[in-house]
Structure 1
Amino acid sequence: MSFPPVRAVGRGAGWYRGDCHVHSVHSDGELTPEELVVRARGARLDFIATTEHNSGAAAGVWGHLPTDDFLVLLGEEVTTKTGHWLALGLNPGEVVDWNHQAWDGLVDKCLDQVHRAGGLCVAAHPHAPYPSGDFLFPLLGFDVVEVWNGLWTSDRPWNADNEAALAAWGRSLAADLHTGSWQPAMGNSDTHLEGQIGSPHTVVFAEELSAEAVLAGMRAGRSWIAESADVDVSFTAHADGRVAGVGERLATRDGQVEVHAAVRGVSAGTVSFHTDRGKVHRASLLGDGAAQWDTTAGDSAFVRIEVRHPNGHVAALTNPIILK
């Protein structure tokens, strides 16, 4: 098969784990596509995306690698002089031009190309510490922000650049949700070397394990980010007998909301609750644990959580639940 199939068997509607920023020997990575798929499955991922620098997936390179229950999405890392971005969900053989900059107005044409293919445009590692890595394009027109990138990390996939990206994204949420123009967060490994894939990765709710459904879940913010598949998070808001999960809206009659978080796979640390008023609650975790925080729709336009290790490194974080 020249190109990967767009659908895998999967488990129907459910949560799927994937790494959407991966490089092979066909750009500047050290692993072959075959090795990447083996390691992705070993990391308990359900899908990956090919994102070679300024080139699409070549015919015959990835098409024979997916299995019945593993999906390979076609993409590209568009590597410009004023920032990098991911074009996810490209058509077979499609390439996005990289020769544009933040001030020349040409990026809009490229974003439109990806959107016409049904794809997703992701602002990649917006605070990367190297020339051209800092993201200078306006976020308008992009669908998602990569707030957690694993490339420049060692023992755990977190550093100051990710902290800056998360803080900037968190500060913008209130205004962006109000205008309806918010960009969900995602996390990827930016794999170039052995041992990086899946650390971190994005966990997305999709109606099926297909390119269209996975991208739709990411676009809607029905997703959260984990440092590894050992970490699992359940995050819900409850009001008037109704329940909403990550990326969903919860309407209430009297405004009273109970927010529940359950975390597995983090031996110790904290879970913190964040709204448009900043960090509003923090609870300790000792092994698998749960926390509850109560609010009202009048006090909180949204709520999201961060799970951190005792050293402050993030183990998981979610997109918001929106309260009406």
Structure 2
Amino acid sequence: MSSSGYPPVRAIGRGAAWYRGDCHVHSIHSDGELTPEELVVRARAAGLDFIATTEHNAAAAPGVWSRPAADDFLIVLGEEVTTRTGHWLALGLGPGEVVGWDHRPGDGGVEACLEQVHRAGGLCVVAHPHAPYPSGDFAFPLAGFDAVEVWNGLWASDRPWNADNEAALTAWGRSLAAGLRAGSWRPAMGNSDAHLEGQIGCPQTVVLAEELSTGAVLAGIRAGRSWIAESERVDVSFTARADGRVAGMGERLATRGGRVRVQAVVRGVPAGTVRLHTDRGEAHRAFLPARGAGAVRWATTATDSAYVRVEVRHPHGHMAALTNPIALD
């Protein structure tokens, strides 16, 4: 157990790499059925390197999450701010820090809470913006939020991808071009919203971080250096090249007006479909072989495409993976 009663903010010996995590989980200390120890065991089994504590309107209690902490696994302190007009995740809070929930659009309360999280160096994430239950539909302005949970896996045991996620993805995709031009775009995240056995890690956000620490992981998410996977079985790499330069997810590629060569390498989606999207919609589609692994290549220009992002879907249409965009200048 950490001497402070809280998990450490940095894992030992974990340098720059792609790390898999789930930033929306619930334990018996809110409305989940698993203990923190059970959640960490199952997170490791799902191939995760980190999780975030997001109990409803409550801070992580001292001692509760330090017991399952380990040198090679990161536990980020957070909260699901559960209001009457939408839910959001406050990630990277200080020990014992609580964010108020009794606010509504137009009263100035959410803006003060967002500022509180940002002062702590934390991240504010719109949670399941089209959830089909009272208070699930997100009604707050997006200004001040850092990312959007476009894939929520609460019903992952029987519906790994549903109409609510599709609606969130569509709305997010429509906002990308204007957001990238203004420098105010919000990266996509995917989390399980685990409450029950068998849910954690479906989906998971895969983040390029300088180290496995709270600060580095949140910085990677904030910058969009991330993608979303249905499970650890799915792997995606995605790059764009022009005139000897290369860019990855969340980055900008200076093209100097030349051709841009895009490549997506996918594993773990048998007979899946790889779809390349730009600000003009779906621009290219390719099919993976039955073994589920393959590379898709495509060419464009910054004139034709303000950005490129990737979706990988199963033959039945459910999502297997999706990436944040590469912007083309």
- TM-score bucket (shorter structure): over 0.9
- Runs of 4+ that moved beyond 4 A: none
Q: Kindly provide the CA deviation profile for residues 89-115 of structure 1, in whole angstroms up to 9, marking residues without a partner as x.
A: 000000000010123221000000000
* 1:176 counterpart letter in structure 2: G
> How much does 1:152 deviate?
2.5
Whether the 8 Å CA contact 1:255–1:298 is kept in 2: the answer is no
Structure 2 distance, partners of 1:209, 1:152, is 29
Instruction: Give the secondary structure class of the aligned counterpart of 2:288.
Output: strand
TM-score using structure 2 length: 0.97
* 2:198 counterpart letter in structure 1: G
Hey, what does 1:232 align to over in structure 2? 235
Instruction: Give the secondary structure class of the aligned counterpart of 1:141.
Output: coil
1:249 to 247, 252, 275: 252
Is residue 2:165 matched to residue 1:162? yes
Whether the 8 Å CA contact 2:257–2:303 is kept in 1: the answer is no
Instruction: Give the secondary structure class of the aligned counterpart of 2:180.
Output: helix
Whether the 8 Å CA contact 2:87–2:128 is kept in 1: the answer is yes
Is residue 2:326 matched to residue 1:321? yes
Structure 2 distance, partners of 1:79, 1:10, is 36
Whether the 8 Å CA contact 1:73–1:88 is kept in 2: the answer is yes
> How much does 1:67 deviate?
1.3
Is residue 2:296 matched to residue 1:300? no
Is residue 2:181 matched to residue 1:178? yes
Q: Kindly provide the CA deviation profile for residues 92-147 of structure 1, in whole angstroms up to 9, marking residues without a partner as x.
A: 00000001012322100000000000000000000000000000001110000000
> How much does 1:10 deviate?
4.8
Unaligned runs of 5+ residues in structure 2 are none
Is residue 2:225 matched to residue 1:198? no
Q: How many residues matched?
A: 324
Structure 2 distance, partners of 1:59, 1:178, is 43
Unaligned runs of 5+ residues in structure 1 are none
1:5-24 aligned at under 5 Å gives the runs: 5-24=8-27
> How much does 1:259 deviate?
0.3
Q: Kindly provide the CA deviation profile for residues 19-46 of structure 1, in whole angstroms up to 9, marking residues without a partner as x.
A: 0000000000000000000000000100
- Please tell me the root mean square deviation across aligned C-alpha atoms, in Å: 0.9
1:38 to 41, 49, 54: 41
Instruction: Give the secondary structure class of the aligned counterpart of 2:170.
Output: helix
Structure 1 distance, partners of 2:308, 2:181, is 14
TM-score using structure 1 length: 0.99
Hey, what does 1:223 align to over in structure 2? 226
